[in-house]
Amino acid sequence: MIFKLFAAFFKIGMFMFGGGSAIIPLLQAELVERKKWLSEKEIMDYYSIGQCTPGIIAVNVSTFTGYKLGGIRGSVAATLGIIMPSLIIITLIASLINLFLDNQYVIHAFTGIRVAVAALIADVVLSMGRKNIKDEYQFAIFVVVAALMLTLSLSPVWVICGAGALGLILRRGKTA
């Protein structure tokens, strides 16, 4: 089981492109339909928990699934499986890219790519904002943090701790 878990998540890591939610269709195809290890509802549970626990969502979901299917050893196997393709492929790309960085065409291409990435980041802010900022309280936090960052450029760790503490104090007893 331990090796099977590693292999299944290696395959998922190999074929997933993008952020956390990109793992869902792959989990469904591989673990629910093909291997019948899990039900669809279990996957949604792991996904919602994976979103609330610290760290990369796809890694959290993998660790969680691995734990359910094979205990602590299973969770380590699934996690190693999901990160292994990244380690191999990124290391290869990163070492190859250094060879081409002086090339004129590569320089032009990367200038264009950076513009596209800037636009992608702008859109992430917009779509995440629309999903997660639902009332005046959350909007106020968004504005205050943005203003503080632009004037003081605080460390992200302090911002997360500060916002969390504020939530615990101001929203005591309320339901989200």
Partner 1 sequence: MIWWLLFFEFFKIGLFALGGGLVTIPFLFDLSAKYGWFSSQELFDMIAISESSPGPIGVNMATYVGFKTLGILGGIVATAGLVLPSVIIVIIVAKVLEKYRQSNTFENLMYSIHPAAIAMILYAGIELGKMVLISPMLIGIGIIFWGAIHFIKLHPIVYIVLGGIIGVILKL
User: How far is CA 146 from each of CA 54, 141, 143, rounded to the nearest angstrom?
Assistant: 21, 8, 5
Within 101-130, the residues that bind partner 1 by CB under 8 A are 105, 108-126, 128-129
Within 14-33, the residues that bind partner 1 by CB under 8 A are 14-23
Judged by CB under 8 A, the residue of 25, 34, 97, 100 near partner 1 is: 97
174 contacts partner 1 (rule: CB under 8 A): yes
3-state secondary structure of 108: helix
Within 53-72, the residues that bind partner 1 by CB under 8 A are 53-60, 63-64, 67-68, 72
Within 131-150, the residues that bind partner 1 by CB under 8 A are 132-133, 138-139, 141-146, 149-150
E strands in 57-162: none
Residue 13 and residue 30 in contact, taking contact as beta carbons nearer than 8 Å:
no
Half-sphere exposure of 118 (CA within 13 A, CB side): 6
